[in-house]
Amino acid sequence: MSVKRAMLITPAHPERSTEAVATASEVARAAGVQLISTPDEHEKHLDAAAHIEKVADGERPDVCLVLGGDGSILYALRHFAHTDVPVFGINFGTIGFLAAIEREQLADGLERAFSGDFEVMDMPALTVDLQLDHAVALNDVSFLRQPHGRVAELSYTIGEEEVGSVRCDGLVAATPAGSTGYNLANSGPILAWGVKGYVVSFIAPHTLAARALVVAPDDALIVRNAAGREPVEISLDGAAAGELAPGAELEMRFRESVSKLAQLPGANFYHRIREKFGKLA
């Protein structure tokens, strides 16, 4: 693909990537690519951003370059949901499961991003019934009891059937990409990229019978907070998205091809699993 304008996104605490921002600016100029950023992003790297153009938040570049970890990549995927803008991540975080390349290959990664030398993978998401600008989750939707609050009492319904109801610390609905995150910590199954569907798991359930469930892609999930309990916090990909009040419910659905993730040609999900987490057994 032809790349003429690339938008830069870095973490909320961007100290580790400031030097890389300067390098990205130099490589972009040499490649004839205009590197752009929002005013907030520009403020993070004033000394290194002399040649980075400030643009409005709604700008749609040819590619979004993320110098950060999975959280920053997820933010970019949500920001550019329902557009054709691919997100190319260079890992400056801890795991970097979604990144196309590691920080040690920064120069090669920048050249690939600015030359369009990458493949684009369609990423599914969970859409939620919330009044937000980007009411989608590329990784997971989490329901968490409030700190120092009582144990939550959550239930979920699929196809008008209540499937699970238990006292717990919370509940997570995860896409295949997100199945290696919070869901994995809940002993839920890993879903390979390309699987159509999502997984629901309870967080610290107060029962020996709770099990994670893989849900078919066309089935809506409704999560309910029991009446008489306390509000539970809702987060989308780890970002606060509101509360679910006692007696209230929230519906979510699986949607295909919501965002675009850039990957190097020949990237393999199973190799990535072994590289990032080690052998499964």
Residue whose tokens read 């980007």: 134
Q: Report the side by side order of strands in the sheet with 213-215.
A: 213-215, 198-203, 170-174, 140-145, 232-236, 239-244
C-alpha distance from residue 33 to each of 41, 57, 110, 112, 128 (Å): 18, 19, 11, 12, 36
CA distance 45 to 54: 12
CA distance 35 to 27: 10
CA distance 150 to 58: 41
Nearest to 44 by CA among 73, 3, 10: 10
Nearest to 64 by CA among 48, 87, 44: 87
Given the residues 62, 70, 169, 237, the one annotated as active site: 70
CB 18 within 8 A of CB 45: yes
CA distance 155 to 224: 5
DSSP code string of 48-71: G-TTPEE--TT---SEEEEEE-HH
Nearest to 49 by CA among 29, 77, 70: 29
**Angle between the 106-115 and 18-31 helix axes, to the nearest 10 degrees?**
40
* 117 catalytic residue (yes or no): no
Query: What positions carry a catalytic annotation?
Result: 70
